[in-house]
């Protein structure tokens, strides 16, 4: 009988005294190379050490400012550089945001995320978003925003407004980044995460899988996230949703099992983080979603819309959760 590979070869390098262990890209690649059943078993073991395996955290994401972004992210319908079906819209008024947040809470969401299509917020816009944060917090929801790259002092302003999480995905590893985005650098994203962490806001950061990258790029992304000190509290793993009119519209989809492997690698390397099954879930069969939950995903976006891409309707989610015996956190 073949035993599951021992942890010695599949855990991060032991660091010097007083320093956190770090994952190398090669070590994460070894996780990917495990037989799928062994990998999922390992991930499920790690998951159960830190979480109730039958609980799922639910977040709802609202686009509070859509379209017209100056950046050239090759996957995004909100870039002003591409011809897509996404229309440019102004910042939503406060009352519409509060109404959407209340509806999300009524549907079972515990966190409300607000996204704006900016390279980064102007100070006048940040003041309006801060009002939204305070109002949503007043409903008893956790708050998260994704506003692009931050300037000095802006993270502190968001902290003062009561923000719980700031989302800023690394998207992919540094070596592949330039093939997807050219209007800013990978290091700019890392800098924003540093400002968020310094301000005392929890970090939400993950990546997008299936943009034409290779397994080593995926392993390098996971390793970089895991080696942040501390790792992100929330790690969204997105499966590319090809948008007509964008440079990545015709990229071949990634194999479902490779996506499951990525979820498992994220769970093993970031044991205490919430791993979110994020964009692309609408196209996944229920069986693939179930495998992702088994591999350690314990958070989803919940509702009808994920920024400008589809997301399974909440009623369909409820039916799936009932089949699997999953309950909300």
Q: Of the candidates 60, 128, 64, which has an alpha carbon nearest to the alpha carbon of residue 96? A: 64
| Contacts for 11-18: CB closer than 8 Å, 24+ residues apart | 12/226, 12/269
Domain-embedded: residue 114: yes
Domain-embedded: residue 26: no
Structure tokens at 50: 């830190």
Domain-embedded: residue 34: no
The stretch 282-291 carries a mean pLDDT of: 92
Contact 68, 118 (CB under 8 A): no
Confidence of residue 1 (pLDDT cuts 50, 70, 90): very low
Q: What backbone phi and psi angles, to 5 degrees, belong to 303?
A: 140, -170
Secondary-structure percent of the chain, ordered helix, strand, coil, rounded to 5: 40, 15, 45
Domain-embedded: residue 242: yes
CATH number at residue 85: 3.20.20.70
Domain-embedded: residue 18: no
The residues assigned a catalytic role are 69, 73, 76, 113, 144, 204, 276
Residue numbers of the domain that contains 88: 53-328
How many domains does the chain contain in total? Answer: 1
d(CA 207, CA 211): 10
Domain-embedded: residue 290: yes
d(CA 129, CA 111): 16
pTM for the whole thing?
A: 0.88
- pLDDT, tens digit (0-9, with 9 covering 90-100), for 23-54: 999 999 999 999 999 999 999 999 999 999 99
Domain-embedded: residue 174: yes
**Mean pLDDT of the chain, nearest integer:** 87
Domain-embedded: residue 61: yes
């Amino acid at each position: 009988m073949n035993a599951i590979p021992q942890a010695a070869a599949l855990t991060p390098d032991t660091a010097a005294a007083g320093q956190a262990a770090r994952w190398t890209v090669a070590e994460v690649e070894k996780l990917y190379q495990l037989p799928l059943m062994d990998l999922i078993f390992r991930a499920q073991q790690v998951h159960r050490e830190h979480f109730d395996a039958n609980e799922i955290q639910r977040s709802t994401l609202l686009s509070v400012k859509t379209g017209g972004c100056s950046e050239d992210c090759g996957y995004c319908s909100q870039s002003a550089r591409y011809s897509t079906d996404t229309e440019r819209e102004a910042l939503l008024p406060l009352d519409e945001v509060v109404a959407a947040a209340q509806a999300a809470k009524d549907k079972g969401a515990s966190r409300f995320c607000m996204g704006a299509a900016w390279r980064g917020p102007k100070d006048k816009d940040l003041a309006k978003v801060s009002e939204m944060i305070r109002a949503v917090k007043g409903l008893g929801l956790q708050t998260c925003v994704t506003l692009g790259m931050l300037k000095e002092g802006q993270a502190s302003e968001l902290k003062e407004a009561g923000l719980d999480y700031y989302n800023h995905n690394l998207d992919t590893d540094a070596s592949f980044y330039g093939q997807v985005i050219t209007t800013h650098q990978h290091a700019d994203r890392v800098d924003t995460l540093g400002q968020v962490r310094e301000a005392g806001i929890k970090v939400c950061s993950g990546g997008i899988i299936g943009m034409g990258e290779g397994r080593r790029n995926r392993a390098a992304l996971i390793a970089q996230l895991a080696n942040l000190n501390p790792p992100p509290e929330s790690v969204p793993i997105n499966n590319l949703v090809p948008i007509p009119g964008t440079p990545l519209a015709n990229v071949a989809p990634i194999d479902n099992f490779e996506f499951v492997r990525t979820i498992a690698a994220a769970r093993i390397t970031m044991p205490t983080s919430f791993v979110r099954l994020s964009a692309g879930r609408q196209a996944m069969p229920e069986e693939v979603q179930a495998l992702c939950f088994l591999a350690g995903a314990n958070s989803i976006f919940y509702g009808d819309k994920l920024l400008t891409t589809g997301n399974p309707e909440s009623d369909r989610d409820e039916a799936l959760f009932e089949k699997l015996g999953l309950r909300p956190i």
